[in-house]
């Protein structure tokens, strides 16, 4: 089983739609969780951290369910510029190492 599993998509949604991505992780000892965004042929960049209480950053909402080892990302009012691959990321151990999922590809259509 992969350490971090994501639905690869692709998700093709119209502008203004709400879209949700899910992710599961296998290491119950993981402490920190993130969503990174990767544009086509670019490097990954941190989108947001995921906290146990859930957190929101503008149109983006991240949720964590430790009991189910499940992380989600909700994007409301999708914009064309949201088109990218979204990587679910979990820390591995105490050395601040990150394990990346394979990513979910999102395309927002005009």
Least Å from the CB of residue 46 to other proteins: 5
Which residues face 110 on adjacent strands? none
Nearer to other proteins, 5 or 17 (CB): 5
42 vs 79 by CB, closer to other proteins: 42
**CA 8 – CA 51 distance, rounded (Å):** 23
Q: Footprint of other proteins on this chain (CB under 8 A)?
A: 4, 8, 32, 34, 42-46, 49, 87, 91, 95-103
Burial class (CB in 10 A: 0-12, 13-18, 19+), 27: middle
> At closest approach, how far in Å is the CB of 91 from other proteins?
6
Are 103 and 8 in contact, with CB atoms under 8 Å apart?
yes
Provide the minimum distance between the beta carbon of 84 and other proteins in the complex, in angstroms, as a whole number.
Answer: 13
> Is 81 or 97 the residue whose CB approaches other proteins more closely?
97
């Amino acid at each position: 089983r992969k350490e971090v599993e994501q639905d690869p998509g692709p998700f093709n949604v119209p502008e203004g739609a709400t879209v949700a991505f899910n992710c599961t992780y296998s290491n119950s000892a993981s402490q920190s969780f993130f969503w990174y965004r990767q544009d086509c042929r670019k490097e990954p960049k941190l989108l947001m951290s995921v906290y146990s209480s859930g957190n929101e950053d503008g149109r983006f909402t991240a949720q964590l369910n430790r009991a189910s080892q499940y992380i989600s990302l909700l994007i409301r009012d999708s914009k064309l510029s949201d088109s990218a691959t979204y990587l679910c990321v979990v820390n591995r151990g105490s050395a601040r190492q990150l394990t990346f999922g394979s990513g979910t590809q999102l395309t927002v259509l005009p």
